[in-house]
Structure 1
Amino acid sequence: MVRVPAAKVSLSTASAYPESCATSFEIASRLGYDGVEIMVWTDPVSQDPAALQRLSDHYSLPIVAIHAPTLLITQRVWGSDPWPKLDRACEVATQVGAGTVVVHPPFRWQRDYARGFEAGIRDLEERTGRRLAVENMFPWRARTREIQAYLPGWDPLGFDYDHVTLDLSHTATAGSDALAMAEALGERLAHVHLADGLGSAKDEHLVPGRGAQPCAELLERLAARDWAGNVVVEVSTRRLRTREEREADLAEALAFARLNLAATGAHG
């Protein structure tokens, strides 16, 4: 017998870019994803909890996470002060029923924000009841130089976060051991961004199985321990020429996730 895996497979709206947030829901529904993660950016719908709830209801797809606008390209979304942005992300998550808010660590030039980041994240979790899952990042590389772009650091293992997002494209870029990181995180691993990478200096977000990351092994290990967090497909399809090509990649990523999450249950 094959067990139904506890973890659900959702689609990040970033995976459908440059399609709109609304189109991402339609694609996720048609392909058979279990839910959606909202990347908050310049698309007005991604910032509007009422519009998001209407999409969730229309397509019968839960919103599992809100990705706060803490990327370089979203530095001006909801203003430039990071703490109010996280407050607002938690408010949106509460309104749409998302249990998790995905957060990037501060950039090194955000020194005041970084100084109180660990304590502030913990306080915000207590106040809002949302899981703030801090994402593993990577050092930036320019030719032979390596730049530590994040404070207090890009690797979440050494910091006091109760919840962490493990991104497999970021482990590729950082040269991290994804399996060792997942093992070391233990119960702190709350959320997975499923992607792949070949280890270049660029954050590639390849379809799982097309890079060098242990995507299948990680999913199998999570299934074996009956991990019940969210697996979210976060791949880049922005260079594809047609909607059909984009949907083929997203269907392939979903099939990969479902196959490997169910694999260890085959002996049931």
Structure 2
Amino acid sequence: MIALSTASVYPESSAHAFAYASSLGYDAVEVMVGIDALSQQTSAVKQLSDHHGLKVCAIHSPCLLFTQRVWGTDPWGKLERSAEMAHAVGADVVVVHPPFRWQRDYAAGFVNGIAALEESTGIAFAVENMYPWRASARRGVEVYVPGWDPSAENYANTTVDLSHAAIAGSPVVEMAQRLGARLRHVHLTDGSGSAKDEHLVPGRGAMDAAGFLRHLAGQGFDGHIVLEINTRRAGNREEREADLRESLEFAREHFVTSS
């Protein structure tokens, strides 16, 4: 299943993301719950899914810095609401980032709390790889607890994001090998290895996204592959659509299973 993240069309809305996904032939959509009001409303997401005949495969919980006040400020409450939305729209995954270091109480119980949420909701909470915050290519600050690399913890389900791995200097095939069957979800994108979270169109960076997809296909990966790219620099809708089309074609060209 090749899906489109609604974050890929920002600053356009979730409604536009569903329209792009439908017209270009994506299989599904991942909804990033953010400042877009539609993304916060379960009824609106369900209507968009039904209208376009597109499955919602995942909900990305509002755990970014700029979404700290979306759905309140209690991080566990955000995850519970994400699971509720996932159930209502038929998604089986909630994507979540590890806590920031200053979220001390949340961080202290995060690993066990995620496992408890999965048990109580039946939803896979796929913890995403992040990265040290870097002011330069050489200096980084650890801001995530218990850490930015989910393979170092006992999570049952995880997400690998290639742009985040580029910042961290972490080879994604090796990360996938460490995670094994715990790799449930992929944010397909790219990065050059700079200190910026670039979210390039796959193939335009240094992460060998094609080789990563071939590795996943060879291992029988049956989770979600979600295109999460940055199209904010697109000069118009035609350029944005071209990037979204190129990304989908890249995924389908390189993720080919023997079956």
Cα separation, 2, equivalents of 1:190 and 1:145: 31
Q: Which runs of 5+ in 1 are unaligned?
A: 1-7
Matched, 1:66 2:66: no
* Partner-residue secondary structure (3-state), 1:201: coil
Equivalent-residue separation in structure 1 for 2:118 and 2:5 (angstroms): 22
**Identical counterparts, % of pairs:** 59
Alpha-carbon deviations, 1:127-155, whole Å to 9, x = none? Answer: 00000000000000124531101011001
Q: Which residue of structure 2 aligns with residue 3 of structure 1?
A: none
Question: Secondary structure in 1 aligned to 2:163?
Answer: helix
Q: Which residue of 1 aligns with 2:79?
A: 86
2:189 paired residue among 188, 195, 202: 195
Give the residue type in structure 2 aligned to 1:98.
A
Query: How far apart, CA to CA, are the structure 1 residues paired with 2:202 and 2:247?
Result: 6
CA contact (8 A) 1:219 1:257 kept: yes
Runs of 4+ in 1 over 4 A off after TM superposition: none
- Whole-Å Cα distance in 2 between the matches of residues 129 and 203 of structure 1? 31
State the alpha-carbon separation in 1 of the partners of residues 131 and 164 from structure 2.
6
Q: In the aligned structure 2, how far is the partner of 1:259 from the partner of 1:199? A: 24
What is aligned with 1:178?
172
Q: How does 1:56-205 map to 2 (within 5 A)?
A: 56-143=49-136, 145-205=139-199
| Structure 2: distance between partners of 1:68 and 1:139 | 21
Q: Say if 2:214 is the partner of 1:220.
A: yes
Superposition CA RMSD, Å? 0.9
CA deviation after TM superposition for structure 1 residue 226, in Å:
2.2
Q: TM-score, normalised by structure 1?
A: 0.94
Counterpart residue type for residue 217 of structure 2: A
**Aligned with 1:235: secondary structure?**
coil
Partner SS for 1:190: strand
Which residue does the alignment assign to 1:5? Answer: none
For 2:255 and 2:140, locate their aligned partners in 1 and report how far apart those are by CA, in whole Å: 35
Q: CA deviation at 1:158?
A: 1.1
Report Cα offsets for 1:174-220 as digits up to 9, x if no partner: 00010000011000000000000000000100000000002111111
The alignment's TM-score, normalised by the length of structure 2, stands at 0.98
Greater RCO (Cα-Cα under 8 Å, separation 6 or more): 1
Q: What is the one-letter code of the residue matched to 1:90? A: A
How far apart in 2 are the matches of 1:74 and 1:86?
13
Inter-partner Cα distance in structure 2 for 1:226 and 1:189: 11
Note if contact 1:179-1:214 (Cα within 8 Å) is conserved in structure 2: no
Aligned counterparts of 2:132 and 2:45: Cα–Cα separation in 1: 34
> What SS does the corresponding residue of 1:113 show, helix, strand or coil?
helix
Partner residue, 1:4: none
Distance 1:42 1:168 in 2: 24
Residue 57 of structure 1, CA deviation: 0.8
Residue 24 (structure 1) aligns with: 17
* 1:35 and 2:28 correspond: yes
Which one is further off, 45-54 or 111-120?
A: 45-54
Q: Distance in 2 between matches of 1:41 and 1:151?
A: 22
Q: Alignment partner for residue 46 of structure 1, among 34, 39, 48?
A: 39
Decide whether the 8 Å contact of 1:131 with 1:163 is kept in 2: yes
Number of equivalenced pairs: 258
Local SS of the residue matching 1:203: coil
Query: Aligned AA for 1:195?
Result: T
**Secondary structure of 2:49's partner?**
helix
